Amino acid sequence: MDIQEYFTKLNAESQTVFEQSISHKEALGKLHHLSSCIYEMSNFLRDPQEKRILETVSAQLESSNYSLIVGLYRQAFSSLRLALEMGLGAIYFSASKLEMHEWLDGRRDIKWSKIIDEENGVYSKRFVMAFFSELVGDAETYRGNAISVYRKLSEYVHGNNETWMNGSIRVMYKDELFNQYCNYYQSVTESILFSATCRYAKTFDDTERESLQFLPEDFNHIEKIRELFGRS
């Protein structure tokens, strides 16, 4: 077997995983819907840089999904974590232009601990108060969710004991990992959408809010979001 033959075989195995994954039409539809929501929201951001980053986040999420369906689970999880960092990072830096430019220039890193900081992070009282004060009460729950899903995803990146077993490098379809990914994905996109709603929803005008009808649909249970979008 030469090197080309070897990769051809891997590709064939990957295709088998692909066939199995793709049969979960509805689950994949949901994943795509959620990344599309982030994409649609990015279309309404006024700042071109913030818009571009959020758009990249949605593409990043889609590419994680692709890794998932070809059976590259570890890559899928780690790519999902990157999307979470980028999404929340963009929102964090949107409130501090200097840092955003440094970040985009490569002179500053995204620090997860700063993004999620209790006092000054994207879910902090200070931050939410400034952009959508009525959501202060809900933000803590989302902060908890974001921290928790980030931790779980990190296990795949750093590769602790358990994940060595779950994501062994052999390319084959694993139902359990597929489902776990879908759950984490839901948390990641919800964390980003909630934070983006806190940060941007009030800057949209009525017509723009009108076009974002998925937001009150997905966050229907949060009264203040519902009200802002015109439902009593």
**Sites of contact with other proteins (CB under 8 A):** 25-30, 32-33, 35-36, 39-40, 55, 58-59, 62-63, 66, 206-207, 210-211, 213-214, 216-217, 220-221, 223, 226, 229-232
Interior/surface letters 97-106, b for 16+ CB within 10 angstroms, e for the rest: eebbeebeee
Radius of gyration, alpha carbons of the chain: 19
Q: For other proteins, which is the closer residue by CB, 19 or 118?
A: 19
Query: Among the residues of the chain, which ranges form H helices?
Result: 3-22, 25-42, 48-69, 73-93, 97-105, 112-115, 125-132, 136-158, 161-166, 175-200, 206-211, 214-218, 223-228
Q: What is the spatial distance between Cα 117 and Cα 156, in angstroms, rounded to a whole number? A: 23
Q: For other proteins, which is the closer residue by CB, 27 or 136?
A: 27
Q: What is the spatial distance between Cα 199 and Cα 113, in angstroms, rounded to a whole number? A: 19
Q: For other proteins, which is the closer residue by CB, 126 or 231?
A: 231
Least distance between other proteins and beta carbon 8 (Å): 22
Q: For other proteins, which is the closer residue by CB, 105 or 205?
A: 205
Least distance between other proteins and beta carbon 221 (Å): 5
Least distance between other proteins and beta carbon 185 (Å): 13
Least distance between other proteins and beta carbon 232 (Å): 7
